[in-house]
Chains A and B, each alone.
Chain A
Amino acid sequence: NAGVTQTPKFRILKIGQSMTLQCTQDMNHNYMYWYRQDPGMGLKLIYYSVGAGITDKGEVPNGYNVSRSTTEDFPLRLELAAPSQTSVYFCASRLTDKAFFGQGTRLTVV
């Protein structure tokens, strides 16, 4: 089991560019999540999914989009990157109460 895999690990974007952060899990977990974590701060929920085909907004969804066409994959899309989206992004998945996290994607928008 690879667990939760995020790609890329690092990325620098220019203002206005778009990109997709990839997240895949091989544990057959129903629930998947995207968080952002600003330096020295907590984790803020962007979007989550309770199963394939179902997604819901979290606390800070503006500027992001998600899709969940399969159980394994939960990509996060940034359409028009802004400096305020500079952060570390974590993907997580869970089956029951215990969530597993990826190693994170460090994104800088300049």
Chain B
Amino acid sequence: GENVGLHLPTLSVQEGDNSIINCAYSNSASDYFIWYKQESGKGPQFIIDIRSNMDKRQGQRVTVLLNKTVKHLSLQIAATQPGDSAVYFCAEISGGTSYGKLTFGQGTILTVHP
């Protein structure tokens, strides 16, 4: 179901800490899972993605983990910096009958304190 009317959850961390942002998904037929970062007043920006046949992918300071058994996706940010403060959204690209559809999860507000 969808939490209509509820605002985004928040995560506060200290600069230099590691951050973990979680996301639950519902569509087992998704081909790709993606993390986006949205800064205030801007459109979302691609961070990292993972194919549905993988369980881990690493980028620069970021790691995405996919657990298909429990339909869970996480984004780990190492050595979090104040510039990482933003809203983070998970998204999925559907396969099957909704091929190509790109839908977003709820989002998490990350605040990094110096």
Contacts and interface: CB of A to CB of B under 8 A. Distances in A.
B80 to A, nearest CB: 22
Interface residues of A, number: 26
Given A40-B8, A42-B105, A103-B43, 12 more contacts: A31-B100, A31-B102, A41-B7, A42-B89, A45-B102, A48-B101, A58-B101, A90-B44, A97-B93, A99-B34, A99-B46, A103-B42
Given A42-B106, A101-B43, A101-B44, A56 B93 contact: no
B103 A59 contact: yes
Interface of B: 7-8, 32, 34, 41-46, 49, 89, 91, 93, 98-107
A102 interface: yes
Interface of A: 4, 31, 33, 35, 40-45, 48, 50, 56, 58-59, 90, 92, 94, 97-104
Given A40-B7, A41-B8, A97-B49, A92 B102 contact: yes
A40 B103 CA distance: 17
Contact of B43 (A42, A90, A97): A90
A21 to B, nearest CB: 14
Helix, strand, loop or mixed for chain A's interface?
strand
A101 B100 CA distance: 16
7 contacts: A31-B100, A33-B102, A41-B107, A97-B32, A97-B49, A101-B44, A104-B42
A45 B46 contact: no
A43 B45 contact: no
Contacts of A48: 100-102
A35 B104 contact: yes
B99 A45 contact: no
A48 B91 CA distance: 15
Contacts of B91: 99
A33 to B, nearest CB: 6
Contacts of A102: 43
